[in-house]
Structure 1
Amino acid sequence: MSQPKQSTGGSPNGKLTISPAKAETVKKLRANVGQLSTTTMRELERALPWYSRLSADERSALGLVAQNGIAAFVTWYERPTMPSWILSDVFGSAPTELTRSISLQKALQLIRIVVEAVEDQVPHLAPEEDQPALREAVLRYSREVAFAAADVYARAAETRGSWDTRLEALIVDAILRGENTDALRSRIAALGWKAQERFTVMVGSAPLEPSPTYVGELRRLAGRYAQDALVGIQGDRLILILGGLDDPPGAMARLADLFAPGPVVFGPEAPTLPEASMSAQAAFAGLSAARAWPNAPRPVSADDLLPERVVAGDDAARRALVQKIYRPLVAASNGLVETLSAYFELGHSLEATARELFVHANTVRYRLRRVCDVTGWDPLLPREAFVLQTALVVGRLASTGKPAGERPAGRS
């Protein structure tokens, strides 16, 4: 599409000259800039319902963009140049306010209204022979402004994306370190976190060379199952913090597929996001000890790795076994600790345990069921029996003396 016609004749000083018709049009345009701006602002309020709902400052910023656009068009029409100046002359310092106030779709609606307002005035601004050139110039100019607006929003999105990525990394690091400060809560709010409960941390190996879309794909998949998700890659480890998780077993099984080969461990559920640090610590401890259980499911709970974590020197796992298994068994009395100990020592035989304790086999079965009720771990399942046996070992080591609950049970 050609530019508005411009005379190629030269003046004595070597400057380009313009036709009398165009000179008259430029003169009228300059004289009517104020009127065009007023008409445009009135049309914005009439045609765009969302415009009147903006705050006074927001309307002022957008009105300034419209007025700058009209004034810059007059200058451009007189001397068409490359469009690179549009970002500074039209938008000025408004891009930040513009992208915060309205979406790109609304910005283009605003540009359309401005263009239509100017087009409607073409018959009053230009002689008949110059009207086609003026209309063509308006269309070309509006195209350049639209491209410039898209560039403004693209740059803002890139900046916001980079900032969000850095902010997310800071939050993940703070949670892993156990930070619980106003700064952390402020950062979480700035990131737009909505979940208020049920937080879980998953850890595993990160891909050696993740694709540019890897993190976005992982975040989108997590968004199907959780209200919010934070993704962090620290060296060769991938951390996923999930909030408001629905259907945890199914969700984590699906999310584990996006981790690199190797163990994937999830920590216990935390009631608040700052407390997710404990879930993360348990998950990392489980990840370090997971190789001791080659046939562990993927993903595996950090609590299912308590025996391996104890052997690896995890004091939190030792305390968990004592507090959640050993002490409840001792407190329950009724011979549960003695029955469980004999059951393990005698090769998991119900009959041999009954003979050792001088009780009926049904009594042994009853007591083992009680162990499951008290602790949540079933001694009749080999893996869970291993957890219970480890709990007995660390519990006895933690005791200063022999608990009363471990006296011989006698006949029943």
Structure 2
Amino acid sequence: MPEPAANPSLDSGAAPAGSGARPAHPHVATLKRLEKSSGSLAAQAIARMDETLPWYRAMPPENRSWIGLVAQAGIAAFTEWFRHPDAPQAISTDVFGTAPRELTRAITLRQTVEMVRTTIEVMESAIDEVAAPGDESVLREALLVYAREIAFATAQVYAQAAEARGAWDARLESLVVNAVLSGEADEGAVSRAAALGWNSPEHVCVVLGTAPDGDSELTVEAIRRAARHAKLQVLTGVLGDRLVVIAGGSDNPLAVAKALIGPYAAGPVVAGPVVPDLLAATRSAQAAAAGLKACSAWQDAPRPALADDLLPERAIAGDPAAREQLVEEIYRPLEEAGSALLETLSVYLEQASSLEGAARMLFVHPNTVRYRLRRVTDVTGWSPSDVRSAFTLRIALILGRLADGDPQS
């Protein structure tokens, strides 16, 4: 069997005339020595990592073997790059394509930088041995340029992985927010939220408002910045024209809404009541949604507003939860406190909030009326002397009487 022809690009120093082949490499001796020593360089790099990087020693064998392959691929890619420095090459594919995508989750970007630095340091320390006499500076310069390229390739790999994770996390977050808003939150939604970093805070509320025009991702990121500044956990998303924020970590929904209101578009912003966990957040979301719908009926409503401050408008708009809350939290406690409070409150409201007028109608002293009204405030938390509270109390009385008159209601 005839001997294979020698490689003219490595042995002859010049390409055959008229062959059209690539010109001979100007540093063919160094290239040969680099090819022969690539295996030993990879072994030295792995040994150096095992000696100097504690996280590498603590890794399971499978991950260490993948890192070893990446180091070998990096040295082989440098050899090929040194052979054809002007040829377009995808270093990220040549080096990191040998390892599975899951490796980017097993080791951090910092660890990858340490791995690359260790490999480059081993190659740099061997330049005097690998380079042919007179080629040391050439090989050192080539290694510096290659180190820059491998750094960019590392950043590209992790940027792509981060973008993929970010897109997946955004879809996962939208599923959780939509489940809470639609009343379909279950243990699956809690698990998905946990995967996003939600650590089940004790106090949760939902804030709703109009989403601004433009890129929804920028809006979501603005909410996250505001939440970090306020030390809140958030799950957020833009659903249609609504910007929905599920916030955890504070028992003051108004303070939460004020801290996060910046990214919302002009218009009403409503915070639902505080609930104990994510599974109960549907109740807060439904209250906030009903308040947002009814907010137009209260022209002087504050921004942001609490859903509980919009109870009368929500009840008139047909929100059954608001009607029940007004009856159970205002009418029933007054009823249990005695008929005198209900009667006095009713007459006082009918008499245009006049103490003297109510006293004449009830045949009692005005101080008696004043005392009973203070009792109303103590029992319900709403003051009859405040115009807004008086309106809420009047609606509660109406709904309570309707409920007493019609058991089905």
Q: Is the alpha carbon distance of 1:180 and 1:93 closer, same or farther for their aligned partners in structure 2, counting shifts above 3 Å? A: farther
The number of aligned residues is: 397
- State the Cα distance separating 1:330 from its structure 2 match: 0.7
What is the rounded CA distance, in whole Å, between the counterparts of 1:366 and 1:74 in structure 2?
93
1:18 matches 2:24: yes
Q: Is the alpha carbon distance of 1:254 and 1:244 closer, same or farther for their aligned partners in structure 2, counting shifts above 3 Å? A: closer
Alpha-carbon contact 2:235-2:247 (below 8 Å) kept:
yes
Q: Which runs of 4+ in 1 moved over 4 A?
A: none
One of 159, 175, 179 as aligned partner of 1:174:
179
Instruction: Show the 5 A alignment for 1:375-390.
Output: 375-390=380-395
Indicate the residue corresponding to 1:78 in structure 2: 83
Indicate the residue corresponding to 2:272 in structure 1: 267
Deviations 1:327-370 (A, max 9, x none): 11111216111111111112211122223223322222221111
| Percent of aligned pairs sharing the same letter | 49
- State the Cα distance separating 1:212 from its structure 2 match: 5.7
- State the Cα distance separating 1:62 from its structure 2 match: 1.9
CA RMSD of aligned residues (A): 2.4
What SS does the aligned partner of 1:389 have?
Answer: helix
36-45 vs 104-113, greater mean Cα deviation? 104-113
One of 193, 199, 224 as aligned partner of 1:194:
199
- State the Cα distance separating 1:375 from its structure 2 match: 1.2
What is the rounded CA distance, in whole Å, between the counterparts of 1:246 and 1:83 in structure 2?
58
1:291 matches 2:288: no
1:42 matches 2:79: no
Indicate the residue corresponding to 1:205 in structure 2: 210
Instruction: Show the 5 A alignment for 1:107-126.
Output: 107-126=112-131
Alpha-carbon contact 2:201-2:277 (below 8 Å) kept:
yes
Indicate the residue corresponding to 2:362 in structure 1: 357
Q: Is the alpha carbon distance of 1:74 and 1:157 closer, same or farther for their aligned partners in structure 2, counting shifts above 3 Å? A: same
Q: TM-score, normalised by structure 1?
A: 0.89
| One-letter identity of the residue aligned with 2:330 | I
What is the rounded CA distance, in whole Å, between the counterparts of 1:247 and 1:182 in structure 2?
26
Gapped runs of 5+ residues in structure 1? 1-5, 403-412
- State the Cα distance separating 1:101 from its structure 2 match: 2.6
What is the rounded CA distance, in whole Å, between the counterparts of 1:376 and 1:64 in structure 2?
70
| One-letter identity of the residue aligned with 2:295 | A
- State the Cα distance separating 1:108 from its structure 2 match: 2.0
Alpha-carbon contact 1:268-1:303 (below 8 Å) kept:
yes
Q: Is the alpha carbon distance of 1:297 and 1:154 closer, same or farther for their aligned partners in structure 2, counting shifts above 3 Å? A: same
- State the Cα distance separating 1:298 from its structure 2 match: 0.7
Indicate the residue corresponding to 2:99 in structure 1: 94
What SS does the aligned partner of 2:353 have?
Answer: coil
| One-letter identity of the residue aligned with 2:327 | V
Alpha-carbon contact 2:253-2:272 (below 8 Å) kept:
no
Q: TM-score, normalised by structure 2?
A: 0.90
84-93 vs 232-241, greater mean Cα deviation? 84-93
Alpha-carbon contact 1:194-1:227 (below 8 Å) kept:
no
| One-letter identity of the residue aligned with 1:37 | A
What is the rounded CA distance, in whole Å, between the counterparts of 2:230 and 2:148 in structure 1?
42
Deviations 1:210-249 (A, max 9, x none): 5763321122112222431122212222111111126543
What is the rounded CA distance, in whole Å, between the counterparts of 1:270 and 1:311 in structure 2?
24
Alpha-carbon contact 1:226-1:243 (below 8 Å) kept:
no
| One-letter identity of the residue aligned with 1:235 | G
Alpha-carbon contact 2:227-2:259 (below 8 Å) kept:
no
Q: Is the alpha carbon distance of 1:351 and 1:318 closer, same or farther for their aligned partners in structure 2, counting shifts above 3 Å? A: same
Alpha-carbon contact 1:201-1:240 (below 8 Å) kept:
yes
Gapped runs of 5+ residues in structure 2? 1-10
